[in-house]
Amino acid sequence: MIPYGRQSIDEDDIAAVVEVLRGDFLTTGPKIQEFEEALCGTTGSDYAVACSNGTTALHLAGLALDLQEGDSVIVPSLTFLATANAVRHCGAEIVFADVNPETGLMEVQHLEEALSRCENQKAKAVFPVHLTGQCVDLKAMKAFTKERGIKIVADSCHALGGVYNDKSVGACEYEDLSTFSFHPVKTIAMGEGGAVTTNSLDYADKMRRLRNHGMVKNEAQGPWAYEMQELGHNYRVTDIQCALGISQLKKLERFVARRRELVALYDNLLPPLAQVVLPPEKVNCCDPAWHLYAVRIDFEQTGMARAQLMTQLADEGVGTQVHYIPVHTQPYYKKRYGDVVLPGATHYYGHTLSLPLYPSMKDSDVSFVVEQLKKAIGVG
């Protein structure tokens, strides 16, 4: 079975984890800071705060901005649940934005339209999503939000290793904070794990407190003493995870290069299916790290439902996935905000299918996937 995504773990990754297991610190040890420094070196940001997963990274970013009840946050509907849920966990309300129907990316026009629906609540932030590895045009978004006092949290969980406007994703050139996930199918794997990058020391310090229950040491009262002046969480990441992350970051350039090679191979093999299958629509503002290879399929023209195609491909050993069900259609959000009409998100969702993409794939695997796709839809 060729899955749609998987981790690439080598013996040096295993050795790095074993070294920690044999050491003194399994958590709250030196590997956390070492990983954060390595991530700053990778992204070009001033600060990085590691945490337990990509969802807690989003939540910490929202807490750093002091999102709370009475605030509104613009979130594109075409994303994973976590982008929206993190905002709700802060107490703020969400205004869902539409996306480009071909790329799935939120653009300034979609942000502007969503802002018109904010009603009486203050729009405090926007959480644009770098989807499949391709980047939102953050420079344009910053130009629009700056005069309105709206903060930007870039959900970069798909995009580590990519380049936007000649800067590494996560450099925070235009956004206030950038969040990452290190789930096994992402560009690097830590099992679970996340991080937030920023160029603000105040944000970084606040997130470090809040990932550890809001505790700060008070050694004036004794070497054991601490105070909790604000309500925090246990969002800590372990030294075990960070050891793996440090090892994986050393391979990031190679992983990204291989993903780009595989995408180019798919692009070269798909033209015979062009009447019903199109490669991802590329944007010009970035050189993506390609987390996903999400093709666009005219299912009506194929004469088969997406579920039928996915089942048929799985029977032949090809795993696929759908990214994503528009979040505004989920029961929780429909109950809270009613029916929201977002035609771009609906169109993108209705046509997308993610094909296998991960660094250890062989060229022959890509050829096999495309041949099975041709066979399933009867084209080519």
Rg (CA), the chain: 21
Taking the CA atoms of 57, 358, 354 and 257 in sequence, report the sign of the dihedral they define. Answer: positive
> How far is the C-alpha of 153 from the C-alpha of 92, rounded, in Å?
14
Which tokens sit at 78?
């075409």
Q: What are the beta bridge partners of residue 277?
A: 297
Is 63 in a helix, a strand, or coil?
Answer: helix
What does the buried/exposed string (b/e) look like for 148-182 if buried means 16 or more CB atoms within 10 Å of the residue's CB? eebbbbbbbbbbbbbbbeebbbbbbbbbbbbbbbb
> How far is the C-alpha of 132 from the C-alpha of 129, rounded, in Å?
9
Q: How far lies 244's CA from each of 55, 58, 137, in Å? A: 19, 22, 31
> How far is the C-alpha of 176 from the C-alpha of 152, rounded, in Å?
5
Is 164 in a helix, a strand, or coil?
Answer: strand
215 phi, psi to nearest 5 deg: -80, 140
Are 31 and 249 contacting, i.e. CB atoms less than 8 angstroms apart? Answer: no
> How far is the C-alpha of 205 from the C-alpha of 46, rounded, in Å?
12
Per annotation, catalytic residue among 139, 186, 282, 362: 186
> How far is the C-alpha of 278 from the C-alpha of 298, rounded, in Å?
9
> How far is the C-alpha of 163 from the C-alpha of 256, rounded, in Å?
11
226 phi, psi to nearest 5 deg: -150, 160
Residue 186 among the catalytic residues:
yes
CA-closest candidate to residue 293, choices 347, 350, 369, 346: 369
Residues annotated catalytic, as ranges:
186
